[in-house]
Amino acid sequence: MNLTQKIKALTPDHILSVYSGKDGKCCCGCSGKYSYHPKHQAEQSKRNGYEVTANLNMVKRVLELLKTQEADAVDELSEDQLTFVIGGRLYMVMLAEQPEEEPPPSTMYAYELAKALMGEVGSWRDDEPVDLEGTIQQAEELVEYLKGFRS
Ligand SMILES: [Zn+2]
């Protein structure tokens, strides 16, 4: 995914916090303001040791501004931090860690069947790598496959 696609796919739910402040000034909060997505407010306050400000409207507004920017006007400071400047104002968008995607149900079912047949994953013979996430979607197919490895 390139930066343009990444920005396009962002929703407020992906965002930990946003910053809006004077460009070229200190970013500690003395020349601008950090606003957190409400769902991260409590945890972040605990982490910081002081109460952070939740403001979903601000999160949405800065995200909308980000989406108006051409990708080459956006600085990707790191994978989870984007900045851009509009008219002397510096904006930052900090992305939240995304929860891992659940495996598709058929894979989960296959996994349960495999466990019933083979025991816990750690006890499987490990000289033959078994890919539960990727190539094998069908439970029966997987079970047949695993029978071949039963020691
Ligand atoms: Zn400062």
CA of 25 to the centre of ligand 1 (A): 8
| pLDDT, tens digit, 9 for 90 and up, residues 24-51 | 999 999 999 999 999 999 999 999 999 9
Burial of 116 (0-12, 13-18, 19+ CB in 10 A): exposed
- Let me know whether 55 and 124 are in one domain: no
- Let me know whether 83 and 56 are in one domain: yes
Tally of domains within the chain: 2
What residue has token string 């605990």?
46
CA of 29 to the centre of ligand 1 (A): 5
CA of 3 to the centre of ligand 1 (A): 29
**Selection from 41, 40, 38, 19 nearest residue 30 by Cα:** 19
Burial 44-81 (b: 16+ CB within 10 A, else e): beeeeeeebebbeebbbebbebbeebeeeebeeeeeee
- Token pair, residue 45, equals 């306050």
* CA dihedral sign, ordered 38, 6, 135, 137: positive
CA of 28 to the centre of ligand 1 (A): 4
| pLDDT, tens digit, 9 for 90 and up, residues 59-87 | 999 999 999 999 999 999 999 999 999 99
**Residue 144: pLDDT above 90?**
no
- Let me know whether 79 and 17 are in one domain: yes
**Residue 128: pLDDT above 80?**
no
Contact 78, 10 (CB under 8 A): no
- Let me know whether 57 and 126 are in one domain: no
**Selection from 21, 58, 20 nearest residue 37 by Cα:** 58
CA of 22 to the centre of ligand 1 (A): 11
CA of 59 to the centre of ligand 1 (A): 21
CA of 101 to the centre of ligand 1 (A): 38
| Neighbour count for residue 127 (Cβ, 10 Å) | 7
CA of 97 to the centre of ligand 1 (A): 26
- Let me know whether 86 and 19 are in one domain: yes
Range of the domain at 88: 3-95
**Selection from 91, 76, 84 nearest residue 31 by Cα:** 91
Q: What is the pLDDT of residue 112?
A: 72
The pTM assigned to this predicted structure is 0.67
- Let me know whether 34 and 84 are in one domain: yes
CA of 121 to the centre of ligand 1 (A): 51
- Let me know whether 61 and 122 are in one domain: no
**Residue 131: pLDDT above 70?**
no
- Let me know whether 123 and 55 are in one domain: no
